[in-house]
Amino acid sequence: MNPLYSVAQIRAIEQQAAALLPAGTLMERAGQAAVNAALDLLPFTTPRARVLVLAGPGNNGGDAFEVAAHLAHAGVQVSVLHVAPTGATAPERDRALHRAQASAAQFVDLTAQEVAGGDWNLVVDGLFGIGLRRPLDGAPAALVAALNTLACQVLALDVPSGLDADTGCIVGGPGGLAVRATHTVTFIGDKPGLHTCDGRDHAGNIIVAALELEAAAFPPAAMHLNDPAFFARHARARRHNSHKGSYGNVYVLGGAPGMAGAPVLAGRAALHAGAGRVYLCFAGPPLPVDAGQPELMCRAAQEVDFASAVTVAGPGLGNGPEAARLLGAAIAAPQPLVLDADALNLLAGDAALRDAVAARTAGTMLTPHPLEAARMLESSIGAVQADRLAAARELAARLGACVVLKGSGTVIAAPDGRLAINPTGNAGLATAGTGDVLAGLAGALLAQGWPVWEGALAAVWLHGIAADVLVAEGTGPIGLTAGELIATVRVALNRLVAQQAHAAWQSQAAGLRAR
């Protein structure tokens, strides 16, 4: 269960630890942790390995000097490109610089073009760490642009230079620059920005080095990477003595004229995720039957009593007055509710509907993409993406709902301020209909009795892992379709149930042996 810490929290931990340890200990430990990661990335013929270490003007550069000295001691051919500071530096950085200068590492003065043309086995990015607050420019920007053209492995220290460790945005916005690392060794604790927005494209594989700090040094974390450990206990094996009514009913409210496909996808996902009965409730003329999934029951939405099932509202619902009336009826029902797609756009344009959502006592989940979130927050996509964590948390607080802010590193926010970032999923999900599948999956879990927070965590994780499995098998990411996710989600959910049952059996067996 990987906790995530803000830059402010990391700074506080660092200051408290530094007060208790000999000067420079944390930098030395960071350098050793990074060296271990670097050696794992080098070829077996280490003495012939060529490594370029980029050392910046701050303490991140000090970490880089430690890496350079250790690698040179291990026999690696190390070149150090030092971006010298213009002001005072910390004593521990100066000591690390002297160690690197006293080693066999070669300090070089390379142009960006020479960096790009170098035959490197590994580049270590120690230019800028978590303290960067302005866009890269000048010589550092040219170095990063050159570095991003290389085909070799790139190890970033703490955070890829140019990436905001809190938000995952490139410092300076879409026009800015950041290192595209293949690996990042991040120090003390994991950072949310490595896992969302631009972070997933720039951080690569992430290694967390706690620098031998005791658990007591870390504050309680309000943010985590999503993990089955948070929700797997609700993945229960089914009793033999059960029936379709044991697993809940799901209504999918949507399907305005010309948009029947969206509720069909959501309904199929709900059925395959274990809901006992699934009804497609069409705002327009109902289909007589879903020929590809005849188990789904088709109804006119105007004839449905939303108090008798969990409702997934929004897929293809439309934006007219009748759609708003039907949505109001679903919101008023005392049942768990998933709001997606057009339901979110209706909320954005109707304060009364938003107030009704905020007043609900039954569990509510919203699954917006950034534009839908921006509309509800009366903001812009740019503002939402600039701080996805804050946007999700604010929306959850306003509406008293669990919010799933979709995107690279989907953010799940609870009304009480808890946050999780989802690590599963890939670019194959960037296609029409995958949001409908997610909404249907979430509705099915709620219908089976999952709490809203755990249901959101599980739905997002399963949705993403299904895409990961399909891509690993060669189905995507290019051309992956929403419908292909559904059967793989079912496999992943059943595997989760089986793993949970096996873990329970092992625990019980261990208890018996202990007697």
Whole-number pLDDT of residue 151: 95
The β-bridge partners of 154 are 123
Whole-number pLDDT of residue 174: 83
Count CB-CB contacts under 10 A for residue 316.
26
* Element containing residue 41 per DSSP (H, E): helix 25-41
pLDDT tens by residue, 332-343: 999 999 999 999
Whole-number pLDDT of residue 466: 98
List, edge to edge, every strand of the sheet that includes 249-254: 3-4, 223-225, 419-421, 411-413, 402-405, 364-366, 337-339, 310-313, 249-254, 277-282, 297-300
Whole-number pLDDT of residue 355: 98
| Confidence tier at 515 by pLDDT (50, 70, 90) | low
Bond before 47 cis per omega within 30 degrees: no
Residue 178 has pLDDT above 70, yes or no: yes
Give percent of the chain with pLDDT exceeding 70.
98
Give the mean pLDDT of the chain. Answer: 96
Phi, psi of 402 (to 5 degrees): -80, 125
CA angle (462, 467, 470) in 5-degree steps: 125
The stretch 45-72 carries a mean pLDDT of 94
- Contact predicate 432/482, CB 8 Å: yes
| Confidence tier at 82 by pLDDT (50, 70, 90) | very high
Residue 514 has pLDDT above 90, yes or no: no
Domain ranges of the chain: 3-221, 228-502
Better-scored residue on pLDDT, 344 or 45: 344
Whole-number pLDDT of residue 1: 67
List, edge to edge, every strand of the sheet that includes 77-82: 106-108, 77-82, 50-55, 122-126, 153-157, 183-187, 205-209
| Confidence tier at 512 by pLDDT (50, 70, 90) | low
> In whole angstroms, what is the distance from residue 285 CA to residue 106 CA?
75
Residue 405 DSSP SS3: strand
Residue 378 has pLDDT above 90, yes or no: yes
| Confidence tier at 183 by pLDDT (50, 70, 90) | very high
| Confidence tier at 48 by pLDDT (50, 70, 90) | confident
> In whole angstroms, what is the distance from residue 273 CA to residue 486 CA?
8
Residue that the structure tokens 């793989």 belong to: 488
What does the buried/exposed string (b/e) look like for 151-169 if buried means 16 or more CB atoms within 10 Å of the residue's CB?
Answer: ebbbbbbbbbbbbbbbbbb
Closest CA to 391 of 380, 135, 6, 408: 380
Strand-strand pairing, 402-405 and 364-366: parallel
Whole-number pLDDT of residue 173: 86
The stretch 256-278 carries a mean pLDDT of 97
Whole-number pLDDT of residue 210: 96
pLDDT tens by residue, 472-498: 999 999 999 999 999 999 999 999 999
Whole-number pLDDT of residue 502: 77
What letter would DSSP give residue 78? E
Query: For the chain, what's the residue count?
Result: 515
CATH assignment of 3-221?
Answer: 3.40.50.10260
* Element containing residue 3 per DSSP (H, E): strand 3-4
Residue that the structure tokens 């993409």 belong to: 369
> In whole angstroms, what is the distance from residue 115 CA to residue 308 CA?
65
Whole-number pLDDT of residue 254: 98
Token pair of 508 as six digits = 């019980």
Whole-number pLDDT of residue 431: 97
What does 369-393 look like in DSSP terms, one character per residue?
Answer: -HHHHHHHTTS-HHHHHHTHHHHHH
What does the buried/exposed string (b/e) look like for 440-479 if buried means 16 or more CB atoms within 10 Å of the residue's CB?
Answer: bbbbbbbbbebebbbbbbbbbbbbbbbbbbbbeeebbeee
Residue that the structure tokens 């708003």 belong to: 324
- Contact predicate 122/154, CB 8 Å: yes
Q: Which amino acid is at 472?
A: A
CATH assignment of 228-502?
Answer: 3.40.1190.20
> In whole angstroms, what is the distance from residue 495 CA to residue 482 CA?
21
Closest CA to 395 of 420, 375, 425: 375
Whole-number pLDDT of residue 280: 98
| Confidence tier at 288 by pLDDT (50, 70, 90) | very high
| Confidence tier at 513 by pLDDT (50, 70, 90) | low
| Confidence tier at 360 by pLDDT (50, 70, 90) | very high
Whole-number pLDDT of residue 509: 65
Residue that the structure tokens 């954005």 belong to: 348
> In whole angstroms, what is the distance from residue 226 CA to residue 384 CA?
21
Token pair of 377 as six digits = 């927050």
Q: What Å distances lie between residue 395 and 33, 261, 283, 302, CA to CA?
A: 39, 28, 27, 30
| Confidence tier at 371 by pLDDT (50, 70, 90) | very high
- Quote the pTM value: 0.95
The stretch 158-167 carries a mean pLDDT of 98
Residue 44 has pLDDT above 90, yes or no: no
